[in-house]
Structure 1
Amino acid sequence: MWKEFKEFAMRGNVIDLAIGVVIGGAFGKIVTSLVNDMIMPLVGMLLGRVEFSNLFINLSATDHKTIAEANTAGHATLNYGLFINAILDFLIIAFSVFFVIRQLNKLRKQKEEPKKEEAKTKECPFCISRIPVAATRCPACTSQLVKAEEGA
């Protein structure tokens, strides 16, 4: 069983997946920081100095000024500001992944499309068989091709 597990764990796709998860986690932290530290303060400033990370609805009868204060007191809150931040995190990550996949698909499509090569054969105008481009006489019907093409 250990040998099977080792073979499974050492396959290329499992290692690639592990690397993807680690990089994805790091990328998620960068995006979260971007949203929390760069975008939301600007949006909050534009909306009249609102700090989204501290927007909440207090579900207790006691008045609290911050989420931390309500949490310390053990009171329930609906943290819609944090939810807005999470939505922005998701949208930025989703757009980034979309952009990367789009670029990879473009590169893959370029690799898959064979380059058009010059035709190596042509069609005999008399018998419609395939013959080499450089041929001056058709091997199937023995027609002279140079004269036929000049007259056409």
Structure 2
Amino acid sequence: MINEFKDFIAKGNVMDMAVGIIVGAAFTGIVQSLVGDIINPIIALFTGGIDFSGWFYALDGETYASLETAMESGAPVFAVGKFTMAVINFFIIAFVVFMLVKMVNRIKAAAEKPDEVAPDVHSGPSQLDVLLEIRDALKK
């Protein structure tokens, strides 16, 4: 069982996956900052200064000053702003991953593409033709 585990860990795909998860976790922080610090203020600018991340609906019918206040009081809330931020985060991450995969596929295709072989410039008979002539001469 230990040997099977060693074989599993030693496979390149497992290490690639581990690196991907670590980079993805770090990248999530960047995307959250992008959405919270850049995209939300732009949306707030166009919506008249509304704090997009603070949009919520309290289901108990009470009015609260902020989402944090409503959550601290134990009221059930629909945190529409947080959900919308999560959706925006997903689409940004999905787009960036798509662009990375597209770039990697382009690099792989360029690496796998055989170098163009220069055409044979001499106009004499090919090597096969010469060998066939030799064979025919030996037969005679």
Q: Does 1:11 align with 2:11?
A: yes
Alpha-carbon distance between aligned partners in 1 of 2:4 and 2:118, rounded to the nearest angstrom: 51
Q: Which has the larger radius of gyration?
A: 1
Which has a greater percent of helix? 2
| Number of the residue aligned with 1:135 | 124
Q: Which has the higher contact order (CA 8 A, sep 6+)?
A: 2
Q: Does 1:91 align with 2:129?
A: no
Specify every segment of 5 or more residues in structure 1 that has no aligned partner in the other structure, as ranges: 122-132, 142-152
SS of the equivalent of 2:61 reads coil
Alpha-carbon distance between aligned partners in 2 of 1:10 and 1:106, rounded to the nearest angstrom: 28
| Number of the residue aligned with 1:129 | none
Alpha-carbon distance between aligned partners in 1 of 2:81 and 2:109, rounded to the nearest angstrom: 42
How far 1:10 moved relative to its partner? Answer: 2.5
State the AA in 1 paired with 2:3: K
| Number of the residue aligned with 1:41 | 41
| Number of the residue aligned with 1:75 | 75
| Number of the residue aligned with 1:57 | 57
Alpha-carbon distance between aligned partners in 2 of 1:35 and 1:73, rounded to the nearest angstrom: 27
How far 1:136 moved relative to its partner? Answer: 5.7
Give the count of matched residue pairs: 130
| Number of the residue aligned with 2:138 | none
TM-score (norm 2): 0.82
Q: Where does structure 1 differ by over 6 angstroms across 4 or more consecutive aligned residues?
A: none
Alpha-carbon distance between aligned partners in 2 of 1:119 and 1:34, rounded to the nearest angstrom: 52
State the AA in 2 paired with 1:109: A
SS of the equivalent of 1:60 reads coil
Specify every segment of 5 or more residues in structure 2 that has no aligned partner in the other structure, as ranges: 134-140
SS of the equivalent of 1:38 reads helix
State the AA in 2 paired with 1:59: L
> Alignment RMSD, CA only?
2.1
CA shift in 2, pair 1:3/1:46, >3 Å: same
Q: What is the aligned-residue identity percentage?
A: 32
SS of the equivalent of 2:84 reads helix
